[in-house]
Structure 1
Amino acid sequence: MSEQPKGWRGTTILSVRKGDKVVIVGDGQVSLGNTVIKANARKVRKIGDGNVIAGFAGSTADAFALFERLEEKLERYNGQLTRACVEMAKDWRTDRYLRKLEAMMAVVDKDVSLILTGNGDVLEPADGIIAIGSGGNFALAAAKALMDQDLDAEEIGRRSLGIAADICVYTNDNLTVETLDTK
C-alpha cells in the first residue's frame, strides 16, 4: 500500500548577515507527500523597491498573499521594515483570513533580519542567522559552523543550503540567492 500525501512540504530558507552583506538563500523544491511536484520554485525575492529581501516556507499560495501584504505595509510605513513587520504580524494574528495561512517568512533589509510567524511573532535572531522550513535546522547548524571561516555571507548561505539538501529530503540544491549591501 502506498503512502498517501499528507500535504505540501518542502523549503529551506536561510539568511546570513556577515561583513557588509546580508543574503537570503532558498531551495527550489516543493513536495506533496513523498513526491517532488516542482524543483525550481522561487521562494526568495526582493520587495519594497528592492530594499528588502523576503523568503517563505509553507504554502505557496499563502506566501504570495503574505508577500503582497508585506509590500503594502512597507509602502504604508515608508520602507521601515521592523514597523511594517510588527503591523503585519498584528494583522496576521487577528485577521480571520490571514490566521488560516500556513507559512513563515524570513525578511531582511540592510539593518535588520526578522522572522515572521502566523502566531503574530516578529523575532530578531541575536547572531544574524535565520533558518526556516523543513531543512532549516540543518542549514542553521551548517551556517553557524561556517561563520568563523573566511567566507562571505553568500558563500556561507550556498554551502549551508548544500549541506541541508544533502540531509533533508524536502530540500534540493536548486538555489535562489538574493543579496543586499549593509553599508
Structure 2
Amino acid sequence: MADQAQNFPGWHGTTIVTVRKGGKVVVAGDGQVSLGPTVIKHSAKKVRLLAGGKVIGGFAGATADAFTLFERLEAKLEQYPDQLMRACVELAKDWRTDRYLRRLEAMMIVVDKTDSLVLTGTGDVLSPDSGITAIGSGGNYALSAALALQETDMDAEAVARKAMEIAAKICVYTNEQVTLETLATDES
C-alpha cells in the first residue's frame, strides 16, 4: 500500500482565505483541482454557504472527503443551532475518533458572524488572532498577502480577492477563478 501511495501523484492544492474586516467576513477559494502535475478542473466550488446562509465553509484537500465533512458539519449545526464553535468542536471530536472520518484528508475554514475557525483531522479547532486565516497549498501566500493588505483602505472582499490573485501567481496548484462568499458581522 505504501508503494501505491508513493506511485500515485495524489490530489494537490487549493487556496482558501478568510478576511474579517469592516463589518464583513469573506471566504474566498480558487477553482483549480489538480492530479499530480495535471489540472483536472478549473472551476471547482470549494466555498459554500451552510446552515441556511449563516455559516460559510471552505475546504482544501480531497473533494469527496470535504463533502463528507460539510455534511457532518451541517448535521452538527442543526444539532447546535447558532453555536458554530460548539458544532465545530463536536465535529473535530468525531473526526479524530471515528475510524471512517479519521481517514479523511481535508482541512476546513468555517466562519459565521462572530467566529473564524480552522478545522483539521488532528482535532484542531483554531481561531486566528487577526481575523485572517488561510489553508491549502497556496494558503501561506494568501495569508501573507491578506495580512499585509489588512492595514490598507481596501474592504474585506478586495483584500481577499487580491490575496487570492497573489497566491495564484506563486502557487502552481492555485488559479484565479475565485468563489467568494460574504457575511455581515457583529462588528462595524
Shift of 1:130: 1.1
SS of the residue corresponding to residue 140 of structure 2 reads helix
Aligned to 1:181: 184
Aligned to 2:86: 83
Q: Does 1:99 align with 2:102?
A: yes
Q: Does 1:42 align with 2:49?
A: no
Structure 2 counterpart of 1:112, one-letter code: D
Pick the aligned partner of 2:25 from 22, 27, 33: 22
Q: Does 1:7 align with 2:10?
A: yes
Structure 1 counterpart of 2:68, one-letter code: A
SS of the residue corresponding to residue 41 of structure 1 reads coil
**Count of matched residue pairs:** 180
Shift of 1:10: 1.8
TM-score, length of structure 2 as denominator length? 0.94
Aligned to 1:67: 70
CA RMSD, 1 decimal = 0.8
Shift of 1:127: 0.4
Structure 1 counterpart of 2:182, one-letter code: T
After superposition, the C-alpha distances for 1:141-173 in whole angstroms (9 at most, x for unaligned) are 000110000011000000000000000000000
Confirm or deny: 8 A CA contact 1:143 1:156 kept in the other structure.
Answer: yes
SS of the residue corresponding to residue 16 of structure 1 reads strand
Cα distance change of structure 1 residues 163 and 172 upon mapping to structure 2, 3 Å threshold: same
Aligned to 1:148: 151
Q: Does 1:56 align with 2:77?
A: no
Pick the aligned partner of 1:109 from 104, 112, 118: 112
Confirm or deny: 8 A CA contact 1:89 1:117 kept in the other structure.
Answer: yes
CA distance in 2, matches of 1:104, 1:133: 8
CA distance in 2, matches of 1:72, 1:40: 27
After superposition, the C-alpha distances for 1:45-76 in whole angstroms (9 at most, x for unaligned) are 00001000000000000000000000000000
CA distance in 2, matches of 1:180, 1:137: 23
Extract unaligned runs of 5+ from structure 1: none
CA distance in 2, matches of 1:178, 1:109: 11
CA distance in 2, matches of 1:78, 1:131: 25
Aligned to 2:161: 158
TM-score, length of structure 1 as denominator length? 0.97
SS of the residue corresponding to residue 36 of structure 1 reads strand
Structure 1 counterpart of 2:101, one-letter code: L
Query: Structure 1 stretches (4+) deviating beyond 3 angstroms?
Result: none
**Seq. identity, %:** 68
